[in-house]
Every structure is written in C-alpha cells, then in structure tokens.
Amino acid sequence: PDAMGIHCNAHVNNFVVKPLGSGEMLTTFLAALDFDMAFTRDGYLPEAVASKAGLGLDTWDGVLNFEATMGMRLVLAGSDFASTGVANDGAGVPESHKAVEAAVRDTLVAAYEAARAGGEDAHPHTDALHGAAYDLVHLALCLTTHVEG
C-alpha cells in the first residue's frame, strides 16, 4: 500500500507506440508498459481497498473486472477516470474534428470489446492500409506533443 491505499502503476493507459515494422506482431501499433508496480493475486491486499467496495475493487475478481471493462474501455473512449497522472480534457480538438475523434474512439472501443469476447474485429488489419494507419498514429503523437495534463 501507499498514500493512495493500494497502488498499481500498470494503468491501462500506459502504452508506447512501437516503431513501424518492429516486434513480432507487425500488425500492432502499441505495446503495454509500466508493469513495475503490477501485482498478482497473491500480492493483492483487499484490506487496503475496503473503502472502494462500491467500485467492486474489494475483491481480486473485482479489480480484474474493473481494469478489463471500466479501465480500458474508459481510457480508449477518452476518459481520464482510470488514470492518476494524465488529464484528457479534449483541449486542442477543434469542434470541426470532434466527430472524427468520436469515430476513432468508438472504433477502438469496439475492437477492444470484440477481442475480449474472442470475436472478430469489425475493422481487421489490412496490409495495404498499415502504412497510412501508422502515419495517422504518428500524426496524433505530433499533435499531442505539447498537451498538458
């Protein structure tokens, strides 16, 4: 436990964008990171989160369910609820681009939920579009370089 009670630094919003063409899976753009404070079932301390029972965080299965459903889904949808360090207030997104942002976020959430359910991604990887999709990811990084949170 720490000052926040129980703390896992492996937040669902901790990703790094992989360099184009790197890694074993050439169809992915992201790699998870920051597992230095992750914990296992044996290291879980339910007494440290007794005050969070209303969120379902007072059991191991509750923590897993929260991270899988609320945590990742909310992060992909643009919420900073599950983050202790990054604010996402949508600043800098012009009104003219809000619909595109919503469409991209909806696509991310739909793909995540399909993968969790063992289903098919409605927008599967296409080799011919991979370079352009990577360019879009790179552009997003460039546009958010100076976003403060």
State residue 106's pLDDT score: 92
Residues 28-53, mean pLDDT to the nearest whole number: 77
How far are the Cα atoms of 11, 106, 131 from residue 121, in angstroms, in the given order?
Answer: 24, 13, 19
The C-alpha atoms of residue 12 and residue 45 are separated, in whole angstroms, by 20
Question: Quick check: pTM over 0.85?
Answer: no
pLDDT of 148 above 70? no
pLDDT of 107 above 70? yes
Nearest CA among 45, 28, 34, 36 for reference residue 12: 34
Helix ranges (DSSP H) in 29-126: 60-65, 72-77, 98-116
Averaged confidence pLDDT in the chain: 76
> How confident is the model over 34-43, as pLDDT tens digits?
666 677 888 8
The C-alpha atoms of residue 55 and residue 41 are separated, in whole angstroms, by 18
